[in-house]
Amino acid sequence: MADAAGRGIDLSWLVTLRWGALAGQLATILAVDLIMGIALPLAPLAGVLAIGAASNLGIAAWRRSAAVEDGMLAAVMLLDVALLTAILYLTGGPFNPFSFLYLVNIALAAVILPAGSAWAIAGVSLALFGGLFFAYVPLPLAGHGLGHDHAVGGEHPISMHVQGMWVAFGVAAAFIVYFIQRVRRALAVRDAELAELQRDADRHEKLASLATLAAGAAHELATPLSTIAVVAKELERALGGGASDAAAAADARLIREQVQRCRDILEQMAADAGESSGEAPATTTVAALVAAAVAALPERARIDSDAAAVAAWTCGPPRAVAQALRGVIKNALEASTGTVRVTVRAGAAASGGGGSWLVAVSDGGAGMPPEVLARAGEPFFTTKNSGGGARGMGLGLFLARVVLEGLGGGLEIASELGRGTTVTLVLPAAGGAAERRVDSGAAPGMVEDPGRRTP
């Protein structure tokens, strides 16, 4: 594997496999000695298994405190080859059918090690297996149809050896398939996580580009707009003295108003692109955020909200969050001609911990086909006619998602053709505040001091 995360996964599953191999070796040794009645050198074999168990404990502890390198994986696998060779040496050498297990180590090395290390494992395994033909401890099989050592004395010993090879083949196949499939699943999960991280990085890169563009536009246009505002004000003063100049003075006031509107638009562009003009996070109610979002919408009479009835507390830059919510509600108003419902309910823990509140915005529009739903929230993707503004460019849901994810929340979209769309904003709860009724005398949009709340 090329990176530390992949090597960590490989070593983790290798440790698991080694425990399984040790358990299988112990069970096989006891079965041969106690059930089949073939006396084995139990003390030396116990020593070999103890070395394997101790090394596995050490590897598991070391893995939690240090980075995993390819050399470490290769060393562990070489140790496994040596331990298998020691067991085979004490139990009949090449006549032991479990010599087939060399292939397990070779297969695993081919999966998790670089080519050079994998070939080295294969070469060492071949050399050690070949050495067993010259040096091994014979099994005492005289009572099992053999005259001495491994001289064949009948059909039974050969049959027993072939059956043992069949069992060894099954064990080897099971270990190979199990380990490789588990590693593949673990790597697939890791690849999915990396892909999601890459998507997040791409979104934030695009957001940074938008913020830079907005900041640049604001900077470049600030000076000429200020000049126009000052000149228009002076012109208005100069024309204010005579009745015949009233129309021209009114035009000067209109110029000043439009300049101020341009300034507001530039400031809003910065907020849309994730720049909150230094806005600090603050604890506020979701009801206040909904009220602030709805207040600037011309069709707010079509919005039915229960937010004012629930004391849902959240923390974040209020203006940026309200703007994100406003964009979602505006999309819902444009998608249908009926009522848009805004509901608040408690949700699961947000990524930052401490629970969350879900603000669901539902419309009764036509809904989205699956291919559109799959792309909803991508920057610059829109099904609307170009109408200017960030929302007309397909940035509304994208910017809302970026703002919410930056707070540890998120944005979820559910839609069905003919049944409308529901966009849910996940807001992190402030201090895990529980749901309660809001004082009906509180003014909409007021931000209450959390320290004044009563249980």
For residues 9 and 149, state if they share a domain.
Answer: yes
**Long-range Cβ contact pairs of 293-296 (< 8 A, separation 24 or more):** 293/322, 293/323, 293/325, 293/326, 293/329, 294/326, 294/329, 294/342, 295/445, 296/326
Element (H, E) at 290: helix 286-295
Residue 124, pLDDT above cutoff 60:
yes
For residues 118 and 239, state if they share a domain.
Answer: no
The DSSP bridge pattern shows strands 410-416 and 340-347 to be: unpaired
For residues 313 and 249, state if they share a domain.
Answer: no
pLDDT in tens, 368-387: 888 888 888 776 677 765 44
Q: Is residue 76 part of a domain?
A: yes
CATH no. for residue 247? Answer: 1.10.287
DSSP letter at 35? I
Q: Which of 241, 272, 303 is the last residue of a domain?
A: 272
Residue 455, pLDDT above cutoff 50:
no
341 pLDDT band, cuts 50/70/90, is: very high
Q: Is residue 8 part of a domain?
A: yes
Residue 51, pLDDT above cutoff 90:
yes
Lowest mean pLDDT among 110-124, 220-234, 437-451: 437-451
411 within 8 A of 423, measured Cβ to Cβ: yes
**Structure tokens given for 322:** 């309200």
Q: Is residue 451 part of a domain?
A: no
CATH no. for residue 404? Answer: 3.30.565.10
Lowest mean pLDDT among 104-118, 161-175, 435-449: 435-449
Q: Is residue 133 part of a domain?
A: yes
Write phi, then psi, for 413 (nearest 5 degrees): -125, 130
For residues 220 and 308, state if they share a domain.
Answer: no
Q: What is the chain's mean pLDDT, rounded?
A: 75
Angle (deg, nearest 10), helices 286-295 and 318-335: 60
Question: Over the range 333-360, which residues count as b (16 or more CB within 10 Å of their CB) and which as e?
Answer: bebbeeebbbbbeebeebeeeebbbbbb
pLDDT for 388 equals 42
Q: Which of 108, 137, 153 is the last residue of a domain?
A: 153
Of residues 359 and 242, more confidence is placed in 359
Residue 105, pLDDT above cutoff 50:
yes
For residues 247 and 299, state if they share a domain.
Answer: no
pLDDT for 163 equals 62
- The total number of structural domains in the chain stands at 3
Residue 392, pLDDT above cutoff 60:
no
pLDDT for 436 equals 36
Domain extent, residue 216, equals 207-272
**Paired strand residues for 420:** 416
Q: Which of 254, 272, 290 is the last residue of a domain?
A: 272
Residue 247, pLDDT above cutoff 60:
yes
Cα 410 from Cα 179, distance rounded (Å)? 36
- Average pLDDT score over residue span 331-344: 89
For residues 50 and 126, state if they share a domain.
Answer: yes
Highest mean pLDDT among 13-17, 31-35, 196-200, 392-396: 31-35
- Average pLDDT score over residue span 200-224: 70
For residues 431 and 287, state if they share a domain.
Answer: yes
pLDDT in tens, 8-29: 556 777 788 888 888 888 988 8
444 within 8 A of 287, measured Cβ to Cβ: yes
**Structure tokens given for 316:** 């974040």
For residues 213 and 246, state if they share a domain.
Answer: yes
210 pLDDT band, cuts 50/70/90, is: low
**Structure tokens given for 439:** 């004082």
Cα 96 from Cα 110, distance rounded (Å)? 25
Percent of the chain with pLDDT over 70: 69
354 within 8 A of 432, measured Cβ to Cβ: yes
Of residues 246 and 123, more confidence is placed in 123
85 pLDDT band, cuts 50/70/90, is: very high
For residues 103 and 217, state if they share a domain.
Answer: no
Residue 264, pLDDT above cutoff 50:
yes
Of residues 176 and 402, more confidence is placed in 402
Residue 431, pLDDT above cutoff 70:
no
Of residues 308 and 395, more confidence is placed in 308
Distance of CA 200 to the CA centre of its chain: 10
For residues 288 and 262, state if they share a domain.
Answer: no
For residues 239 and 365, state if they share a domain.
Answer: no
**Structure tokens given for 422:** 């529901």
56 within 8 A of 19, measured Cβ to Cβ: yes
For residues 248 and 301, state if they share a domain.
Answer: no
Cα 389 from Cα 272, distance rounded (Å)? 10
Q: Is residue 181 part of a domain?
A: no
Q: Is residue 447 part of a domain?
A: no
**Structure tokens given for 68:** 């995993």
- Average pLDDT score over residue span 296-319: 82
Residue 56, pLDDT above cutoff 60:
yes
Of residues 415 and 179, more confidence is placed in 415
Residue 7, pLDDT above cutoff 70:
no
